[in-house]
Amino acid sequence: MKILIFNWQDIRNPQAGGAEVHLHQIFSRIARMGHSVTLFCSSFPGGKNEETVDGIRIIREGGRTLFNLHVPLRYLRQFRKEAFDIVVDDFNKVPFFTPLFVRKPLWYIVHHLFGTSIFREVNPLIGLPFYLVEHAGIVAARIFHIPLMVVSPSTRDEMLGLGFPPDRLEIVYNCVDHDLHRPDPSQRSTTPVIASFGRLKKYKSVDHLLRAVALLKNRIPGLKVLVIGEGDYRPSLEALSRELQISDMVQFTGFVDEHEKVRLLQESWFAVNTSPKEGWGLTVIESNACGTPVLASNVPGLRDAINDGETGMLYEYGNISQLAEKIAVLVQNQTLRLKLAEQAYTWSRKFDWDLTAEKALGLLENRVKKSESRRP
């Protein structure tokens, strides 16, 4: 098959996150199976206009701000002439409205909807247009009967609530590269280290972790917090750590490559995810694969990735005192922590990119076959 993908970013973009990992891991494997994969995405400073990465032909154009306007123009000018068999739209906040101009079989990938979480990131006047346009994109998918790949039961339930029939929803999980993410007990710190990793955006609520740590600074001597990742909210988080007088306890690593990320996860006693909503919780499974359990907010996506009390722990989102108490429990109860770590690693082994890629390919092939059978 010839597959065309639209996504805001590619795996080499400094802003890449879980959606880009999911896309790259699946479609690089599909490319290795002999299929042609082209990804059209936004450009970024220092990025090439076109290159091939792990078998995926990547074309970059337009920059992050206006990329959605380039999608229909480039498709109508070029891509519709290239005889693609299917188009994959990786839906993320600001939609491309592909059903309005793509006449090839379409398939959406949906991690989760930003929904009202946008109002945690920006003020209502700015957030409302994003909220409305995201909703309009989903409505268009429903009206045009576009099938969806979703990454968790929570996202599937969200789509069912918006009127999608069950037969148009398929769960295609986020998984983990077990060759890279693996336990190494020799790296584990002898003193308490906890990690938070991901893009540093306001809505991710990493400030909750800092406030919880401030409550513990006199209870847990030597506690160290690794904030792994980069984003526009980093200066605010650094200012807050100074305000809370915990700067000596918190290390902001900035962007790190995959190997350094794994080393930091292997070093940490456990990780913490304070997000109000996720599509699945890729960071959870990556941590688990390193033998590191996760304490996370009990919200859609994260509750799918964690079996509370078995592979990790959940707390009530926004409850800073409860978060602090559960951090204290995990730091002070080594028996519990080691039990969770062992079970988290076993849990992570269930999520294999090879199996996920085979499932995704089968779904795409069936979509193409059904479309061809309807042709006169």
What pLDDT, on a 0 to 100 scale, did the predictor assign at position 199? 86
**88, 364 in Cβ contact below 8 A?**
yes
Quote the longest CA-to-CA distance of the chain: 74
Domains in the chain, CATH or no CATH each: 2-175+352-374 (3.40.50.2000), 185-348 (3.40.50.2000)
Residue partners of 249: CB distance under 8 A and separation at least 6: 213, 217, 223, 224, 225, 241
CA 10 from chain centre, in angstroms, equals: 13
CA atoms within 13 A on the CB side of 347: 25
pLDDT along the chain (376 residues), means of 10: 97 88 96 98 96 98 92 97 96 91 95 75 77 89 94 92 94 92 96 94 95 96 95 96 98 94 98 92 93 96 95 98 98 98 97 94 95 71
Amino acid 376: pLDDT: 57
What does pTM read for this prediction? 0.80
Task: Check: CB of residue 207 under 8 Å from CB of residue 252.
Answer: no
User: Which DSSP category does 117 fall into?
Assistant: G
Distance CA(160)–CA(166), nearest Å, equals 7
Cα→Cα distances 267→65, 181, 281, Å:
37, 13, 20
- 3-state SS, residue 327: helix
